[in-house]
Structure 1
Amino acid sequence: MSIRRITPVLGAAVAGAALFAAASPVAFAAPAAPSPFTRAVAQLKSHAAPGAVSAGQSFTLRNVQTDADGTEHVRVNRYYQGLPVLGGDTVVHLGKGNSWKGVSHALRGGLTLSTTPRLSAAQAATAALGASRAASQHIDGTQLVVDADGADTALAYEVVVSGVAADRLPSELHVLVDAQTGRVRDAWDAVQTDGVGHGFHNGDVAVGTVLSGGTYQLNDSARGGHKTYDLFGATTGTGTLVTSTSNVFGNGTLSDRNSTAVDAHYGAAMTWDFYKNTFGRTGIRNDGVAAYSRVHYSSGYTNAFWSDSCFCMTYGDGGTGWTPLTSLDVAGHEMSHGVTSNTAGLRYSGESGGLNEATSDIFGTLVEFYAGNANDPGDYLIGEELQTSGAPLRYMDKPSKDGASADCWSSSVKRLDVHYSSGVANHFFYLLAVGSGTSSWGTSPTCNGATVTGIGNAKAGAIWYRALTVYMTSRTAYSGARTATLSAAADLYGSGSTEYATVAAAWSAVSVS
């Protein structure tokens, strides 16, 4: 891996330019106003304690989000002695007139540590290979980093080990190896999965196509050029672009392989429209450029996944007891992993991994409601179309109904698989949107015995999206998510509002204080 650095380039004097020019009025342009990044860094340094800024730190810009009232949220990457600080990503909040409105990060203080490793990169790579269970392993990259994991901050090698897992899921395992001791500090996979297969048909729907060379392509030019490809059972490559001579794709059954491609293409379109029309976000990176979809991955594969490296969604056809994974909530779920990667970047392990997975469940659910498709109406069940038995994968009203997910936060939640630690946030969101007790959507208990009255999907979704894009960072845990959503509710509705109070009540109801 390499770190892209922004290096200022100074213009050289123009060769042959005259020393003197004929006398004429000289117009002096006003100096350009400092950029949001320049102002954010200056404010960080002026507020070193809350910003956890210490000697040897530097910053690069990630992105800027500007509110309607001019408030700027400047997201930056942090470096120490030139090394990237994992967990040091920061959002600086600037009000009108460049006023300081606060900062969001997960650091506990400034950084002071040696950046001279005892281990070589090759030794770290050997240790990292042992952490991966994938076959056909190979090292994709190694870099020295500062792993700012709470109080246990250390110099480490970040090693990317690629391969294919036993269930045929591609693996891009990021392994943090202590650069002094060789101990594996942490590991997480950049390929983020829904964990199971999916199979459902969206019925008769419109799909975006482009006519090229006498054939129609599943190429949605109205939505950033999203394309859908058929892998024909392969596990590598882009696949073959799905085409038709008649502009008709699929036949509504699995006897036509393009029926699955229609579902994936439609799911991507609905997810694009949901983010654009609800939050003004055009595409996963908010740059107007679409990701792409791949269907018919491997053979009998009961999984789906998002990958940052290909910037794509991939769907298996399912095996015995399962159907293809191209349902609305799965499409919304996988694409939302991409949104998370390009905003808060929640690390896919521990509590931040549970929040990452819950974010995809939350927005996948909201995509399902947004689409209003009669074949799969909105609900608070995750993957209810995947198994031929009709059993959903996860329940938002009471996550523990799946037999593994957590309803309430405890110190042991961070040790659960991220698909199960996500239950705390899923339960919170259900309580925030629907409320506690019995409704047409399910029966939702609270961990503290309190009653919560929901504020609806629209407001609950707006709060979660703003928290994700403005306040959460890569190491946000459940306590930080409470703070982030309260800040978002205050921004959107006021700190004395019903919405703010309901956010607080819903977190308390899942034991997050």
Structure 2
Amino acid sequence: MRHQTAIGAAALTAGLAVAMSVPAMGATARTAPAKPNPRALAAVSADTFVAAAPATFKKAPKDKIFRTNITSGLRGLQYVEYQRTYDGLPVFGGDFVVTTDADGGVQSTSVNQTTQLNVGTKATISVAQAAKTSRARVAKVTKSTTPRLTVLAEGSGKLAYETVVSGYQKRAETKLHVFVDARTGKVVKTFDEVRDAADDRSFYHGTVDLSTAATSMTDSTRPGHQCGGQGGSAYTGTDSAWGNGSGTDLETACVDTLYAVQKEWDMLKAWLGRNGTNGNGRGFPARVGLNQVNAFWNGSYTNFGHNQANNKQATSIDVVGHENGHAVFTNTPGGDSGGNEKGGMNESAGDIFGALTEHYVNEPANLDPPDYLVGEEVDLVGQGPIRNMYNPSAKGDPNCYSSSIPNTEVHKAAGPQNHWFYLLAEGSNPTNGNPTSPTCNNSTVTGVGIQKAGQIFMGGLSRKVTGWTHARARVATIQAAKSLYSKSPTECNAVKAAWSAINVPAQSGEPAC
């Protein structure tokens, strides 16, 4: 659980004490005050802004606002996250983000709610009824939490019980959040934390040099990252030479997994300015040997199976990058809950982080060269890549946004944002050897390069809220481009052109370039 700081006079005073430097007694006039830490400046500035502008954040009289996290980004940008309670109850969807610059200046806000909450907080159905209804949503239940009264930030609010039910749907693992209306007893919302996809010797990359402990597949330089079998413990050995290079050897699968995870971690830092997978210097464990033609992230760890032919593990760079990319998405503001449209954007985020990692590693053609295909090396079901980012329709997925996307299966619904990212990075008619990409409005888009596109995408994710949509992402990425490239309109205009090219139109109140 993230640390919570209440917004009030005491919190602001404490924040100012961190930000200010007081000379020691006897110091000379030449002693310069220490430069305030950007995170401390961000906390004070954002807290002050939130307290001074309650209407901006739809604050109701019964609301209490809490600062939960600060994530640092490129150019000194800080993303300050907030949640709220209503009449003492947690609010699902009451989140917002305040973005500040290196000097603490407020640059933009992202607010999930559209109106103040005004709802009664007395339930008429019992906890036992809510638990029974929630557990019925999972075929095989292994455990469930006690239902918790929650306010859903939908309109003026809805009182519901939230229960987390873990288990299996058919053979697939699930960790399902179920919201049961506390007055009618009907299920009003669900979301699943499990997101699926599809001298060390690896299968995909030849001989590589992993950073691991001497006798354990644990990465001490990237805290939280380790790899092992289905029991959850890291593999151990008598030395730090891992794997035999076979497509069926699970230790080799861990070599591939840790290699990809380490490269993704390095890419996040070097290209996107992010400190670790969770944004605060930590990553997550990985498991291999899943007996499924699948791979997934379940909110706590990544898990990798094999292809349909059972001669390769699903541990190529883009697949590992995809699943670990879900971990990044989960650990940005707004989390990974909030509706089917957001689920498709989460799947797309995984594909984008996989592509970014492939391009950062930049392996030669005989290994896993960078491209905008997903899972082509694994050949998951014998049909080559499972998704195509420059032309999603080549794999039967939509190229363009439409009103049907929020009701489209999430992996297929990844198509529009994948297409947007490719257009932003490479353009519709690249001159660097990458494929051409059709646009939905017959426009021509000029790309800004994958590194800049990744920075803008990350800047957008850092402004994410619970109710994430393509329309909100358009505004957030435009804000990101303006913050990151304030002296040039080129990047901002490219972001707008790429969104328009997949039929996400200009939004009311979006910044001008």
| 1:5–1:487 Cα change, 3 Å | closer
- Confirm or deny: 8 A CA contact 2:203 2:252 kept in the other structure: no
Given the alignment of the two structures, is residue 192 of structure 1 paired with residue 182 of structure 2, yes or no?
no
| Larger Rg belongs to | 1
Aligned partner of 1:418 in structure 2 is 410
Instruction: Name the SS for the 1:73 alignment partner.
Output: strand
The worse-fitting range, judged by mean Cα deviation, of 408-417 and 245-254 is: 245-254
- For 2:312 and 2:421, the matched residues in 1 are separated by 28
Letter in structure 2 aligned against 1:109: T
Is the alpha carbon distance of 1:477 and 1:394 closer, same or farther for their aligned partners in structure 2, counting shifts above 3 Å?
Answer: same
2:232 maps to: 238
Residue 485 of structure 1 corresponds to which residue in structure 2?
Answer: 477
Q: Which residue, out of 392, 401, 407, partners 2:385?
A: 392
Partner of 1:305: 296
Secondary structure of the corresponding residue to residue 150 of structure 2:
strand
Deviation at 1:157, TM superposition (A): 1.1
C-alpha separation between the residues in 2 aligned to 1:72 and 1:271? 21
One-letter code aligned to 2:144 = I
Counterpart residue type for residue 334 of structure 1: E
Quickly say closer, same or farther: Cα 1:448–1:117, change in 2 above 3 A: same
Gaps of 5+ in 1: 11-24, 232-236
Q: How does 1:423-462 map to 2 (within 5 A)?
A: 423-437=415-429, 440-462=433-455
- Flag the 1:182–1:255 CA change in 2: closer, same or farther, 3 A: closer
Corresponding residue number in structure 1 for 2:303: 314
**Measured at CA, do residues 4 and 340 of structure 1 come closer, stay the same or move farther in structure 2, by a change above 3 Å?**
same
Cα distance 1:221–1:444, how it changes in 2: closer, same or farther (>3 A)? same
Equivalent residue number for residue 509 of structure 2: none
Q: Would the alpha carbon gap of residues 68 and 166 (structure 1) be closer, same or farther in structure 2, given more than 3 Å must change? A: closer
Q: After the TM superposition, which residues 177-256 of structure 1 pair with which residues of structure 2 at under 5 Å, given as runs? A: 177-195=180-198, 201-211=204-214, 216-224=215-223, 226-231=225-230, 237-239=231-233, 241-254=234-247, 256=249
Corresponding residue number in structure 2 for 1:146: 151
Aligned residue type for 1:377 = P
Query: 1:138 and 1:47, CA in 2 relative to 1: closer, same or farther beyond 3 A?
Result: same
Match of 1:157 among 139, 156, 161: 161
The code of the aligned residue for 2:184 comes to: T
- State the superposition RMSD in angstroms: 2.9
SS at match of 1:244: coil
User: In the aligned structure 1, how far is the partner of 2:388 from the partner of 2:494?
Assistant: 21
1:407 aligns with 2:411: no
Match runs of 1:37-56 below 5 Å: 37=43, 39-56=45-62
- Aligned counterpart, 2:510: none
| TM-score in terms of structure 2 length | 0.84
Question: 2:283 maps to which residue?
Answer: 290
Residue 129 (structure 1) aligned with residue 135 (structure 2):
yes
Distance 1:246 1:146 in 2: 53
Secondary structure of the 2:113 match is coil
Q: How far apart in 2 are the matches of 1:302 and 1:495? A: 48
Partner of residue 18, structure 1:
none
Is 1:337 matched with 2:321? no
Residue identity opposite 1:347 in structure 2: S
Counterpart residue number, 2:347? 357
Letter in 1 for 2:176: L
| Map of 2:21 onto structure 1 | none
Distance, in Å, in 2 between the alignment partners of 1:448 and 1:243 is 55
Write out per-residue CA displacement over residues 156-201 of structure 1, whole angstroms, 9 at most, x where no aligned residue. Answer: 111111112213x321000111111122111111111124xxx962
The 3 A distance-change label for structure 1 pair 124 and 38 is farther
Higher mean C-alpha displacement, 447-456 vs 221-230? 221-230
Query: Given that residues 424 and 510 in structure 1 are in contact (C-alpha distance below 8 angstroms), is that contact kept between their aligned partners in structure 2?
Result: yes
1:376 paired to 2:339: no
Residues 81, 335 of structure 1: alpha-carbon distance in 2 compared, 3 angstrom cutoff: same
Per residue, is there more strand in 1 or in 2? 1
- For 2:141 and 2:357, the matched residues in 1 are separated by 37
Asked if the contact 2:74/2:484 (under 8 Å) is kept, the reply is no
**Of the candidates 157, 161, 173, which is equivalent to residue 170 of structure 1?**
173
AA matched with 2:118 = T
Compared CA separation, residues 422 and 481, structure 1 to 2 (3 A): same
Residues 101, 465 of structure 1: alpha-carbon distance in 2 compared, 3 angstrom cutoff: closer
1:58 aligns with 2:64: yes
| C-alpha contact (below 8 Å) 1:200/1:385 kept by paired residues | no
1:66-145 counterparts in 2 under 5 A?
Answer: 72-94=78-100, 100-132=106-138, 134-145=139-150
How many angstroms does 1:244 deviate by?
Answer: 3.2
Contiguous gaps of at least 5 residues in structure 2: 11-24, 26-32, 506-513
Tell me the equivalent position of 1:20. none
1:448–1:511: 8 Å Cα contact kept in structure 2? yes
Q: Give the 3-state SS of the residue equivalent to 2:97 in structure 1.
A: strand
Task: Name whichever of 120-129 and 100-109 sits farther off.
Answer: 100-109
SS in 1 for 2:124: coil
